[in-house]
Amino acid sequence: MKECNSCGKCCIKYSNGQLAATDQDIEYWELFRPEIAEYVNNKKIWSSPTTGELLTLCPWLKKMPDSSAYRCEIYYDRPDDCREYPSNIAEMIRDGCEMLEPKDLVVHKRTTRP
């Protein structure tokens, strides 16, 4: 498997209410990162602080200037869903993850049942 190239595919795919934050994430943000907590509405992330509606894209995902790469502005304080991605090769295949190499697909085929 290759190192992450910061393509942003996972962040883009799992925007629009598809991520969850733990109670611990939310408590931490409320105490130490209120600017992040503003984007939580009724335990749903990422919501507009003004309207409460779900955002179509994570507000912390920023495109790097003059590059196709993205960066997470809250990388060290990101929710557990983000920390634990990717959870398995099938998920990476489904998401078009650019970290996969041909050898990863061979291993995946050997370990999955038809």
Q: Where are the domains of the chain?
A: 9-84
Angle at 65 between CA 59 and CA 67, to 5 degrees: 105
Per-residue model confidence (pLDDT) at position 18: 81
For the segment 62-84, what is each residue's pLDDT rounded down to a tens digit? 999 999 999 999 999 999 988 88
pTM: predicted TM-score of the whole model, two decimal places: 0.80
Identify the pLDDT of residue 85.
83
- Which string of b and e fits 64-102 if b means at least 16 CB within 10 Å? eeeeeebebebeeebbebbeebbeebeebeebebebbee
Q: Is pLDDT above 70 for 4?
A: yes
8 A C-beta contact, residue 14 and residue 61: no
**pLDDT band at residue 55 under the 50/70/90 scheme:** very high
Question: Quick one: which of 30, 39, 46 has its CA closest to 81?
Answer: 46
Classified as helix, coil or strand, 103 is helix
Q: Note whether 45 and 36 are within 8 A (CB).
A: no
**Residues counted in the chain:** 114
